[in-house]
């Protein structure tokens, strides 16, 4: 992944970051089990059934819990189904508690560069960790502190914030967060200007209206409500000036309010345009023509042990360079290839009425293929997916293959060379 995933410490399935290759036999079985649990509780990982089922289960538990919370506010419904609602809440709260324990257990996968105790503490005090804790813990507090039951119920509202975990994996939500983070200094400046204007207008209106409306504008801060409603809206009519000077000043403040509200609106709009333009540039830069390929020789490969001059390379193909451990070897005729060597091959472009195009596309978070199944992709009939690279694993594409973020997709396409570059990019 090209950008930070954990700005808000939301657990994200990131095999490159966390090294979640649970098939590696060198990893202890306990650690492989921890990584499988982490994949299961991470939203959006649907490579196996249990992971997809847990996503559906956790989302369903949250929606049911919130629905019961809302229905409990109706006296007639609570009187009829109160016992059922209590049982449902117990089940859902216990699920939230178990989910929290699992996230503590897998905190090391969320923060792979930290020790397990440090990762646990970091998760506990993260935004999502606090929300997860408040999702279940306040439910049990009235048992020990009956006098504070009403206050503890207020903390249960934190459960609704768990919805952010679900929405955080959609591009629209990520774009909003990114824009607000990039433009936070400009937004804070605009908010500061609004606050200054609000207090200044409140003080000025007090000076003008206090002699005529002492019960309404009784002190410098009594006009705060009027200034807020005038600067940010058109006023509510409950507090208003009656003097000519006050009315004129109110008109000026109302006009300034329109401009002040437009400042943060313009900043956010410009941020959205910039962010989407940047994402388009990233997507465009991820698609490149392949001029060279790199292969690693195995012990039983036909080239292993042979010299460059003895290789029967096709016409137009060359060995550009050989990478052996940390050394770069110029491929002269007497150089012998060894097992483990990385051989970089290059070939001339095919000339003629038709051309062959091989492209490598890296699936980013914003890419339309991310999370899609191969058979559901809408691609040209002249384009074929040859291979998918996922970390160090090479995957033969099948119809039920689901693309993940970070996958490198190799495409083969044969189009008429008269087609423009724009048309080519559209087809591919």
Asked if residue 311 and residue 278 are part of one domain, the reply reads no
CB 16 within 8 A of CB 391: yes
Spatial distance between the Cα atoms of 119 and 233, rounded to a whole number of angstroms: 46
For position 382, which CATH number holds? 3.30.70.1450
Asked if residue 134 and residue 68 are part of one domain, the reply reads yes
Name the domain boundary from 264, 285, 306. Answer: 285
Whole-number pLDDT of residue 10:
40
In a domain, 177, yes or no: no
Whole-number pLDDT of residue 19:
42
In a domain, 6, yes or no: no
- The sheet carrying 317-324 orders its strands as 292-296, 342-347, 317-324, 327-329
Spatial distance between the Cα atoms of 389 and 321, rounded to a whole number of angstroms: 22
Distance (Å) of CA 252 to CA 89, 157, 333:
54, 41, 84
Asked if residue 315 and residue 366 are part of one domain, the reply reads no
Spatial distance between the Cα atoms of 228 and 235, rounded to a whole number of angstroms: 8
Instruction: Output the six-digit token pair for 123.
Output: 């998760």
Name the domain boundary from 140, 169, 198. Answer: 169
Asked if residue 384 and residue 266 are part of one domain, the reply reads no
Whole-number pLDDT of residue 427:
33
Asked if residue 19 and residue 163 are part of one domain, the reply reads yes
Asked if residue 220 and residue 77 are part of one domain, the reply reads no
Asked if residue 362 and residue 330 are part of one domain, the reply reads no
Asked if residue 204 and residue 309 are part of one domain, the reply reads no
Q: What is the pTM of this model?
A: 0.49
Asked if residue 200 and residue 91 are part of one domain, the reply reads no
Spatial distance between the Cα atoms of 428 and 424, rounded to a whole number of angstroms: 6
Whole-number pLDDT of residue 84:
93
In a domain, 4, yes or no: no
Asked if residue 269 and residue 189 are part of one domain, the reply reads yes
In the block, tokens 């700005």 appear at 7
Whole-number pLDDT of residue 309:
83
Asked if residue 418 and residue 343 are part of one domain, the reply reads no
Within 8 A by CB and 6+ apart from 206, the residues are 217, 219, 220, 222, 223
In the chain, what's the furthest Cα-to-Cα distance? 104
Q: Which residues of the chain have pLDDT under 70?
A: 1-26, 44-47, 146-154, 165-174, 234-238, 279-291, 315-316, 347-357, 380-382, 413-428
In a domain, 8, yes or no: no
Whole-number pLDDT of residue 357:
64
- The DSSP letter of residue 374 is G
What b/e readout covers 364-377, taking b as 16+ CB neighbours within 10 angstroms? bbbbebbbeebeee
What b/e readout covers 83-118, taking b as 16+ CB neighbours within 10 angstroms? eebeebbeebbebbbebbebbbbbbbbbbeeeeeee
Instruction: Output the six-digit token pair for 38.
Output: 């982490």
Domain that holds residue 386: 353-428
In a domain, 9, yes or no: no
CB 241 within 8 A of CB 247: yes
Asked if residue 360 and residue 338 are part of one domain, the reply reads no
Spatial distance between the Cα atoms of 296 and 342, rounded to a whole number of angstroms: 4
Instruction: Round to the nearest angstrom and report the end-to-end CA distance of the chain.
Output: 22
Per DSSP, which regions of 90-232 are E strands?
none
In a domain, 7, yes or no: no
pLDDT tens digit sequence for 260-276: 778 888 888 888 788 77
Spatial distance between the Cα atoms of 209 and 246, rounded to a whole number of angstroms: 7
In the block, tokens 């559209």 appear at 426
For position 246, which CATH number holds? 1.10.287.70
CB 109 within 8 A of CB 33: no
In a domain, 5, yes or no: no
pLDDT tens digit sequence for 283-292: 544 554 445 7
Whole-number pLDDT of residue 91:
94
In a domain, 409, yes or no: yes
Say how many domains are in the chain: 4
CB 191 within 8 A of CB 264: yes
Instruction: Output the six-digit token pair for 256.
Output: 């300034």
Whole-number pLDDT of residue 94:
93
Name the domain boundary from 169, 199, 226. Answer: 169
């Amino acid at each position: 992944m090209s950008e930070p995933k954990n700005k808000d410490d939301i657990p994200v399935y990131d095999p490159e970051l966390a090294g979640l290759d649970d098939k590696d036999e060198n990893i202890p079985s306990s650690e492989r089990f921890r990584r499988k649990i982490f994949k299961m509780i991470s939203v959006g990982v649907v490579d196996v059934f249990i992971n997809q089922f847990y996503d559906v289960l956790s989302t369903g538990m949250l929606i049911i819990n919130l629905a019961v919370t809302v229905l409990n506010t109706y006296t007639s419904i609570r009187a009829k189904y109160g016992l059922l609602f209590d049982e449902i809440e117990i089940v859902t709260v216990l699920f939230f508690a178990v989910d929290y324990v699992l996230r503590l257990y897998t905190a090391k996968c969320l923060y792979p560069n930290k020790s397990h105790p440090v990762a646990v503490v970091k998760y506990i005090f993260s935004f999502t960790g606090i929300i997860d804790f408040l999702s279940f813990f306040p439910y049990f507090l009235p048992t020990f502190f009956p006098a504070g039951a009403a206050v503890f119920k207020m903390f249960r509202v934190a459960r609704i914030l768990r919805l952010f975990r679900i929405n955080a994996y959609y591009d629209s939500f990520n774009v909003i967060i990114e824009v607000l983070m990039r433009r936070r200094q400009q937004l804070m400046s605009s908010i500061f200007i609004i606050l200054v204007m609000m207090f200044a207008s409140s003080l000025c209106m007090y000076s003008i209206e206090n002699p005529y409306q002492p019960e309404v504008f009784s002190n410098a801060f009594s006009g705060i409500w009027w200034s807020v409603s005038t600067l940010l809206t058109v006023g509510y009519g409950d507090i208003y000036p009656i003097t000519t000077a006050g009315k004129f000043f109110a008109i000026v403040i109302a006009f300034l309010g329109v401009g002040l509200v437009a400042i943060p609106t313009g900043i956010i709009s410009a941020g959205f345009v910039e962010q989407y333009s940047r994402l388009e540039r990233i997507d465009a830069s991820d698609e490149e023509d392949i001029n060279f390929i790199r292969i690693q020789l195995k012990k039983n490969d036909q080239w292993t042990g042979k010299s460059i001059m003895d290789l029967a390379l096709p016409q137009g193909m060359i060995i550009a360079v050989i990478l052996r451990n940390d050394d770069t070897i110029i491929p002269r005729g007497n150089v012998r290839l060894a097992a483990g060597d990385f051989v970089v091959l290059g070939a001339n472009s095919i000339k003629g009425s038709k051309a062959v195009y091989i492209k490598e596309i890296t699936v980013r978070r914003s890419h339309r293929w991310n999370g899609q199944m191969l058979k559901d992709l809408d691609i040209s009939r002249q384009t074929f997916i040859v291979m998918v690279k996922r970390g160090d694993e090479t995957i033969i594409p099948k119809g039920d293959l689901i693309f993940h973020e970070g996958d490198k997709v190799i495409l083969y396409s044969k189009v008429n060379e008269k087609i423009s570059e724009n048309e080519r990019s559209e087809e591919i």
